[in-house]
Amino acid sequence: INYLLAIDKIYLDLLNIKYENEDNFKKYETSTQILVDTDLEKDLHNWVKENIVLKGNSGELTVKIIEESIIDSFVEEHRKKFNIFLSKDSIAYKINFKVKIIAENKKNNSKGEVLSIVKGEKTFLGGFSINDRSKAIDELMNNMVRRLGVNLRNGIHTEFRDFITNKYN
């Protein structure tokens, strides 16, 4: 089991991890309060901790949430973004995650960047309770976090070639 876990890890020739998010990265513009348990910031920290191992003596990995947004079709300034017909008791949601990971080692004069954008939509036709909608939105957000992890892993393998090392270095 340890062997399988070790193969799955991403080993980078860097020293530190820094987390910094855009100001006001979390934008929830909804007409009703949605109760979601998904915490992108916490999930991203956990993903990094579970998947990335730093093996270097210089350089920095910066993990940055650029945007986490949920908007619904009832918010007036966003209505035109929803190109679907909705009855009066229906509602639609759009969810966006944007995360950037930057690897930089000034000693080696090397830099790499991965930007992952994951979008999701959920439409409720007819009357659904806030709890039902919240549960469905939370499930969608969890799936989006998993897709984000896959995108980041794939991006790291292609864009961070200068930083990838093996577990024995």
Global pTM?
A: 0.86
Q: What is the pLDDT of residues 137-167, one digit of tens each?
A: 999 999 999 999 999 999 999 999 889 887 7
C-alpha 156/C-alpha 26 separation (Å) is 24
C-alpha 163/C-alpha 161 separation (Å) is 5
Q: What is the pLDDT of residues 49-78, one digit of tens each?
A: 999 999 999 999 999 999 999 988 876 656
